[in-house]
Every structure is written in structure tokens, then in C-alpha cells.
Amino acid sequence: MTGASAISPAQRADLIYRAARFELDGRLWRAALGSSTDSPRPAEPATGGLLRLDTLVEALSAEDRLSPALTPGPVQFPDVTDTGTGPLRLGPNQPLAPALQAAAERTGLDPAMLASIIDAEAARRPDGSWNAASRNPRSSATGLGQFLDGTWLSEARRRGSWLHNTAQARGWLASDGSVRPDARAALLELRSDPSASIEAIADHAAANLRFLRARGIAPGSLAETARAAYLAHHLGLGDAMRFLGTGLGEERAGRLLAAQVGGAAAGRHIAAAGSAVEAHRAWLSHYVDRRIQPQQFLTA
């Protein structure tokens, strides 16, 4: 069977919903660009964290969505030399240390790496603590991991993930593994639960890193692994592999950069760098180098 006849009614309904949302988001984005491309936009919004590629880029990458298989067991990477010892050092976020340790132990990842992803994504309260209920007003991104609606629902459908097991135990999934319509709101609201968000971040990172490694992208050190995990979390697997490999194309790099800093600012970056590819790479690399620093969360 091929085409729409090869999927279940629930999956077909989900595709129709996504297509409608992508079309609406595209119209909203074009309207926004028409009224604001001449106004500089801050690289880091007041909500904190990197301005996610939200539903705009979800639409741009709809034809390139990848779903890596989540295999059991911890991720195996080469021995690293830049790990710390002792408990995590999280400052005002210290109460979340047990949840980070538990998720890291379950997935085989480093808890400091998970903390660095959250630190780059989550909004902060005045005292510096991560706001588990933060929402990006420009998109559906919510919680410590700023998961978009679609990404969170995909994690719930992925067999073997913590979120899938939780959703199944709570009766939120249909017999075919799809999310029940009447459970959608409750499942999405779970993003504001810090422990649930941390578990999903860990599963998402583990699956992404397995997929990258299977395709020859095998980071060695803790810092390199954290960087690769964050790029996949932020860009999505398809664009992360291009970014880490041969690079994004001119058009796509330009569109992603404009989504981050605004059309006028993107034009200035591109003019200075000589190409959209180099401009986007320089901007995102600078952000990641500055914000993805797992060592800061390790006790010396």
C-alpha cells in the first residue's frame, strides 16, 4: 500500500492537522516579515534561551523530518577526558539535580550535558533559576527543553521513550500508538513538569546522538557531545547533520538565520561573511560555544 491509504485514520488526521498548521504559520511568518524586516531583533529574546526554529522551521523542514529508532541501553561513546567529579553544581537549579542524575543514568548520558541543553533553552527567573513553565510567545515551544507541540507528541509516540511509557500508562495513547485527541492537551501540558521535561530531553538527545553516530558523526569529548546533542535538539536531525557535515545550502541557511535574528540583521551578517552559509554557521557556532558549556555544571 502507498500514499494516504497506508496510514491509519488517526495518523491521517494528524497529517492534515500539521499541514493546516504549517500553512497558517507560513502566512503569519510572511506577514511578520512584511512588517518587521527593517527592525533589528535581539539574538537572545527576553524569554531566555535561543530563539527556537519554532513552527516556521517546523514547516520548512516538514519534508525532511527524521525519526531515529530509540534502541534500549546507554549510548556508547569514546572515553572522554574532560568530565568532572562529584555532584552537579547547579546554583539556584540545584533542586533539579536528582532528576538530571536519574535521566542521565537511565539513558547513559552525562547529567552536565543535559544541564547545558536546558541552560541554553529555558527562560530564567530573576534569581537565575530555570522556569519550567516558560513558553515562547512566538511558537508552541514550552518547558525546560522548549519542546514544540509536534516534537513532544512525536516523543510520546516513540516506543521505548520515557514519555511514551508514561503516556501509555496514563491511557493517553490509542491502540496504534497515536495520541488520543482527548488526551492531547494533558500530554502537552506535561512539558511544564520539570522532571518530565528532563526525561524527554535525555531521550531526545540519546536518540539523536545514536542517529548521528550511525552516520559517522561520533563526538568524543563531553563538550563535543553536548554540542552535537544541542545542535540536533535545536536544528533537527536533518539540518544538524548538514551543519556538522557538508553544511547547509545557501537558501536554507539564509532562511534559518533570518528566523533567528530578523531579515535586516541577517542581511548584514551575510554581507559581512560573504555567504548565508558562513553567516549562519558563524552566528550559531558563536551562540553554541558561549552557551553549551557542560563543564560549568561540574564540581571540580
pLDDT digits (tens, 9 = 90+) for 15-27: 444 444 444 434 4
Q: What is the pLDDT of residue 65?
A: 37
Whether residue 196 has pLDDT greater than 70: yes
Percent helix, strand, coil in the chain (nearest 5)? 60, 5, 35
Q: What is the pLDDT of residue 10?
A: 53
Report the mean per-residue pLDDT for the chain: 77
- Coil, strand or helix at 43: coil
Whether residue 159 has pLDDT greater than 70: yes
Q: Choose among 224, 209, 200: nearest CA to 289.
A: 224
Over the stretch 37-78, which tens digit does the pLDDT of each residue have?
332 333 333 333 333 333 333 433 333 333 444 444 444 444
Amino acid in the structure at residue 149: D
Q: Where exactly are the structural domains of the chain? A: 3-148+192-297
Average pLDDT over residues 148-170: 95
Where does the pLDDT of residue 190 fall: very low under 50, low under 70, confident under 90, or very high at 90 and above?
very high
CA distances from residue 211 to 196, 208, 234, 237 in whole angstroms, order as listed: 23, 5, 15, 8
Does residue 262 contact residue 41 with C-beta atoms inside 8 Å? yes
Whether residue 86 has pLDDT greater than 70: no
- Coil, strand or helix at 22: helix
* Least confident span in 33-37, 126-130, 147-151, 264-268: 33-37
Q: What is the pLDDT of residue 248?
A: 87
Q: How large is the angle between the packed helices 194-214 and 149-157, nearest 10 degrees?
A: 80
Q: What is the pLDDT of residue 9?
A: 54
Residue with the larger pLDDT of the pair 263 and 84: 263
Percent of the chain, pLDDT > 90?
A: 51
State how far the Cα of 237 lies from the Cα of 32, in Å rounded to an integer.
27
Q: What is the pLDDT of residue 102?
A: 96
Q: Choose among 224, 202, 208, 205: nearest CA to 82.
A: 224
Q: What is the pLDDT of residue 200?
A: 97
Q: What is the pLDDT of residue 217?
A: 75
Where does the pLDDT of residue 98 fall: very low under 50, low under 70, confident under 90, or very high at 90 and above?
very high
Where does the pLDDT of residue 150 fall: very low under 50, low under 70, confident under 90, or very high at 90 and above?
very high
* Least confident span in 54-58, 76-80, 141-145, 164-168: 54-58
Residue with the larger pLDDT of the pair 162 and 56: 162
Where does the pLDDT of residue 109 fall: very low under 50, low under 70, confident under 90, or very high at 90 and above?
very high
Beta strands in the chain, from DSSP E residues, in sequence order: none
The pair phi, psi for residue 172, each rounded to 5°, is -90, -10
State how far the Cα of 81 lies from the Cα of 87, in Å rounded to an integer.
17
Q: What is the pLDDT of residue 236?
A: 86
* Beta-carbon contacts of residue 10 (< 8 Å; ≥ 6 apart): 174, 176, 178
Percent of the chain, pLDDT > 70?
A: 71
